[in-house]
Structures are given as structure tokens and as C-alpha cells.
Chains A and B, each alone.
Chain A
């Protein structure tokens, strides 16, 4: 019985030791090399006394970073991937919550560690620890004692109070996800994937575990290529990529610039997408360019380990019609609940709630926030059963497929990133010279628009914000107002602000 994700790696390295597991444009690691490096790192962490605790992996996006993940898991610790481009302010916030004793760095990030005031632990250099000899006896003993509900990773997601929340997931949930996902995507050792998602989100598990479990090869796509569509497709063709799992905005960047008139990603057979609604006009361009490919919509929150639902597109859609999120993976059930915690009538909207093995362990070091959304199933008064309340509103269509409708709060999806508008507002309100602030999201134009009042100059405000917010959370447009429009109840009038943004009457 499988109870640890590393069993995937161990099985695959037996079958395909010399096959490429993870690669970028300039280097590649075989499964054997990944296995050797991660066992060395695991041994090193153990010998230094780290166990069952968070180990931060703070490296630039690189195959070595992935090997470091498994190294942390070998030691019985859990890895916490960190974005090398994340502002120091945010990293400090995360360190304060996590209190890690060890951080694994590469040559470039190692220098930056000195900037973080809230870290006083040990900095380990990948190149030094990945070469040490592995102690298989020691690693075996750790494995023997490990259980499948131990955490593997913590990934941080936007929090409306201004502090990111760390979602911790365990072996059992990830195994359940990987089995489901690779079956739906039909991943095999012949699959060649191009990763788009940053390694510090759970979205990258799709590629990482396709390689680990099935022996597929994953290429890490340079982030800069997502600005240049023709070069991006050339990259896909050069490495004969046949499978992508990308956010919708990465796909529409290619189709909307009429790239297919020049070049087709001719090896692509499976296109999985998610995180956002795929505009039908753009979807059709993809379908026309790749008539034989399978297109699969994936849906799921980080709190339920990767993805929870899938829908393989099997029919045409009208413009403006949403592509369904379909049905849940095995071992997952989606409950729709109305405001009174009752099941709405068929066709009526309800909050999407998830039950099953996929539920994560909740937010690291924050019972209060965890208990707000991981709650007893209100339909089951008889025994302990947690569900996760996503805050997403959905419905079932006449075919019984799930359809995403909206959010019940101010969380948005922007360029594939999940963002709490409240988190941005907290950062703005902290700045000197700001009296009030409100962020709205113009879905059609995909723009985060910030309105504020006060003496602060727009230019200075933007510069300061970039020091504390990750790039993808920076407002796309910033407007200073004399007065904030208010509703009759004295709340900020978001509808009016949205109208102002859309009509550009500011």
C-alpha cells in the first residue's frame, strides 16, 4: 500500500533511471540524478537534526529546486517553496508565521537571506548538500516511522487581512490527487510537459507528479517567454511538448495575438487549463488550431490539494457561455449549499463545498482561519466530517455538470493568480498620506484598479507598493480621488467605482 509520495520516485527511477525528469533550456536532471540529490539532501537535513518541520526552499526556478523539495520530504520534513522575486516584506511576513530553522538556497538567493530580519536559522547551499553521500539506513528508518497524514508541503495563498495563509497538504491527499489527475490527463512515460505555473504554488504539482509517477519529462518554461507568443510556441515545438496544464491567460496570450497564423504547437495533444474562465472566442481559436487535441478544464482550490473537478470539452459553446468545471475526481464530492446550509434546488446557485480525501490540513499555525472554512458538514449531524467552504458560487446545469458562477467575497483570479483585493487594500492603507483605499477588479479588461484618497502622490504610492506586494498583486491602474463614493449605508460604493473604471470617467 502506497503511503508516501517518494514511492513514486523510487518506482520510476527503477524503470527509467536515465530518462530526463526535469529540465530547462540549459540543463537536465535524470530520474537517477533527482533521486541521488534528494537522498543526499534528506540525509543532510536529518544529520543536522531537522525533522517534521518546515524547510524553506528559496531558490530560482530550476530543476535543482524540485530535487530540494523531495530532499526535504526524504528527511521527514515538509518543503515550503518561496518565490525568489517575492518582495522581502512579504517573505518576512511568511517567516514570522513559519519560524523555519532551515532554508535551502542557491548561489543567487543565498545573498538575499541577509535581508530578512525575521530569520535567524541556518542557510544551506544546494550545491553543498546535494553532493553529500546518502545514508540509506537513516532514510529508511524515517520512512518506516512516517505516516500518510504527515504534511509534504506548505504553499502560501493571499489573505484578506494582509497576511498570506500557508496551506499544508499531506501525502494521502497528494497521492489521491496524483492518481486522479494522471488518469484524467492520460499521462504516460511518453508525456512531455512544459510547466508554466510558479513552483511556489500547488499548480505546479500537475507537472512535477506527472514526471514522478509516470516517468514523463517536464520542461520548466522560462517566465519571459510568456510575453512573446511566437517564441513560446517555438519553445513548445523545439522540445516536442505534447501536454500543457496552463492558466487561461497564458493560452489566450497566444491565441489573441494571432500566433496560430504563423506557427502551431504541432506536438500538443492535451491542453489542460484552469484558474480562470476561458473566453469561448479564444477557446475556438485553440480548437481550430489543434482539432485533434483533448481540452480539459480543471477546477480546484489550494485548500483541497491541487484540483478537485474536471471537464473534458466534448461540445461547442456559445460566446459568453461558461465552460463547465464538470464533475469531481474520485473520492471527492462537491456539495452546493445555500445561505441556510441547505441543498439548493437543481439549477439554483449555492456555495461550492468540498468533502473527501483531498481536503488539506488547513492553514499552518492558524486554527482560527482554518476553522472558519474547514467546517463540519452541515448535512451530517452524526459523525466528524469536515468540508471545505470554497467561497465560490456554482450551480449544476441541466446535464448535471458543475458550473462556476462567481465569488461571494472580494477574492479574484487575475492572470491565474488567486488574490484577495482586501490584502492589497491593507498594504495601501499602511502607506503614509493615504486616507482610504479600495480595489476593484474589472473582469472584462482584466485590470486591478486601485482608488485612494489622501495626499499621497500616485507615483510614490506605486513605488512603495511594489516593495511590499508581489508583482502579480500590484494594481494595474491607480487613481487618486477627492472623495471616496459611499453607499447609503456609508460603505465604499464598489459598484460606482467599477462603473468609473469602465467608463474611464475619473
Chain B
């Protein structure tokens, strides 16, 4: 989780990712961020997020994103 928070904070130092739950719906992250997040997660966790998992629900909070990574790692 810490590595993920670091990835996110690097993109948006002004956002508190531990509490935000509307990253997509609140227009906090945009399409550029999504592309970056996907590639950084790939580098950090060696996990490829498949296209069908790139949906708002999985990107609205750091927690949801982390759960996705854990699910994909299994």
C-alpha cells in the first residue's frame, strides 16, 4: 500500500489519497494519470491491469486500487 501511495502522491502531491474516495468522479485524476498509474503499478508490482478492470470503481480510491492489485497478484 505504501508503494502505491507513493506512486499516487508523486502524481498529485496536493491530494490526500488515504481518505479520498472520489478520485474519478471528483475529476481529481484524469486520463493522463490513469495511464501513468497503470504503467507505474506494472513497474512496481509486476501486475498488468487488464482493460476490463480499468473502470471508475477500481480507480476512485487508493484502497480500491490496492485491492485490485492484490486480486491480480493472486
Interface residues, chain A, CB within 8 Å of chain B?
223-224, 226-231, 249-250, 253, 256-259, 261-263, 415, 446-447, 458-459, 462-463, 466, 471-472, 476-478
A-B contact pairs, 26 of them (CB 8 A): A224-B24, A224-B56, A227-B24, A227-B30, A227-B31, A227-B34, A227-B54, A227-B56, A227-B59, A228-B54, A229-B51, A230-B51, A230-B52, A253-B35, A257-B50, A258-B48, A258-B50, A259-B51, A262-B52, A446-B35, A459-B14, A462-B13, A466-B14, A472-B32, A476-B36, A478-B13
Interface check B1, CB cutoff 8 A? no
Interface check B70, CB cutoff 8 A? no
Q: Would you call A462 and B12 a contact (CB within 8 A)?
A: yes
Interface check B11, CB cutoff 8 A? yes
What are the residues of chain B within 8 A of A458 when measuring CB–CB? 13
Q: Would you call A230 and B54 a contact (CB within 8 A)?
A: yes
What are the residues of chain B within 8 A of A230 when measuring CB–CB? 51-52, 54-55
Q: Which residue of A lies closest to B9 (CB)?
A: A459
Instruction: Report how far A252 CA is from B12 CA in the complex, Å.
Output: 23
Instruction: Report how far A224 CA is from B59 CA in the complex, Å.
Output: 13
What are the residues of chain B within 8 A of A229 when measuring CB–CB? 51, 54
For the A-B complex, the count of residue pairs with Cβ-Cβ distances under 8 Å equals 66
Q: Would you call B32 and A476 a contact (CB within 8 A)?
A: yes
Interface check B38, CB cutoff 8 A? yes
**Nearest 10 pairs of A and B residues by beta carbon:** A259-B51, A227-B31, A226-B31, A257-B51, A459-B13, A463-B14, A227-B34, A462-B14, A462-B13, A229-B51
Interface check B49, CB cutoff 8 A? yes
Return B1 CB to nearest CB of chain A, in Å: 20
Q: Would you call B31 and A253 a contact (CB within 8 A)?
A: yes
Q: Would you call A261 and B51 a contact (CB within 8 A)?
A: yes
Return B50 CB to nearest CB of chain A, in Å: 6
Instruction: Report how far A253 CA is from B33 CA in the complex, Å.
Output: 11
Interface check B19, CB cutoff 8 A? no
What are the residues of chain B within 8 A of A463 when measuring CB–CB? 14
What are the residues of chain A within 8 A of B10 when measuring CB–CB? 477
Instruction: Report how far A230 CA is from B53 CA in the complex, Å.
Output: 9
Instruction: Report how far A102 CA is from B49 CA in the complex, Å.
Output: 48
Q: Would you call B55 and A228 a contact (CB within 8 A)?
A: yes
Which of A261, A415, A459, A478 is the one whose CB lies under 8 Å from B32?
A: A415
What are the residues of chain A within 8 A of B14 when measuring CB–CB? 459, 462-463, 466
What are the residues of chain B within 8 A of A471 when measuring CB–CB? 30
**Could you tell me which residues of chain B, from 21 to 74, have a CB within 8 Å of some CB in chain A?**
24, 29-32, 34-36, 38, 48-52, 54-56, 59
Return A264 CB to nearest CB of chain B, in Å: 12
Instruction: Report how far A249 CA is from B36 CA in the complex, Å.
Output: 12
Instruction: Report how far A401 CA is from B43 CA in the complex, Å.
Output: 38
What are the residues of chain A within 8 A of B51 when measuring CB–CB? 229-230, 257-259, 261-263
Further contacts, 12 of them, CB under 8 A, given A458-B13, A477-B10:
A226-B31, A227-B24, A227-B59, A229-B54, A230-B51, A231-B55, A249-B35, A262-B51, A415-B32, A462-B14, A466-B14, A478-B13
Q: Which residue of B lies closest to A471 (CB)?
A: B30
Q: Would you call A228 and B56 a contact (CB within 8 A)?
A: yes
Select the residue from B14, B29, B56 with max chain A CB neighbours within 10 A: B14
Instruction: Report how far A446 CA is from B48 CA in the complex, Å.
Output: 19
Return A439 CB to nearest CB of chain B, in Å: 16
What are the residues of chain B within 8 A of A446 when measuring CB–CB? 32, 35
Instruction: Report how far A478 CA is from B38 CA in the complex, Å.
Output: 20
What are the residues of chain B within 8 A of A253 when measuring CB–CB? 31, 34-35
Return A416 CB to nearest CB of chain B, in Å: 10
Q: Which residue of A lies closest to B32 (CB)?
A: A415
Instruction: Report how far A228 CA is from B59 CA in the complex, Å.
Output: 10
Q: Which residue of A lies closest to B10 (CB)?
A: A477
Return B7 CB to nearest CB of chain A, in Å: 11
Instruction: Report how far A324 CA is from B52 CA in the complex, Å.
Output: 33
Return A60 CB to nearest CB of chain B, in Å: 13
Instruction: Report how far A230 CA is from B32 CA in the complex, Å.
Output: 16
Q: Would you call A257 and B30 a contact (CB within 8 A)?
A: no
Instruction: Report how far A244 CA is from B36 CA in the complex, Å.
Output: 24
What are the residues of chain A within 8 A of B29 when measuring CB–CB? 227
Return A272 CB to nearest CB of chain B, in Å: 20
Instruction: Report how far A46 CA is from B49 CA in the complex, Å.
Output: 55
What are the residues of chain B within 8 A of A224 when measuring CB–CB? 24, 56
Q: Which residue of A lies closest to B11 (CB)?
A: A476
Return A115 CB to nearest CB of chain B, in Å: 18
Return B3 CB to nearest CB of chain A, in Å: 14
What are the residues of chain B within 8 A of A228 when measuring CB–CB? 34, 54-56
Return A465 CB to nearest CB of chain B, in Å: 10
What are the residues of chain B within 8 A of A231 when measuring CB–CB? 55
Q: Would you call B49 and A257 a contact (CB within 8 A)?
A: yes
Q: Which residue of B lies closest to A466 (CB)?
A: B14
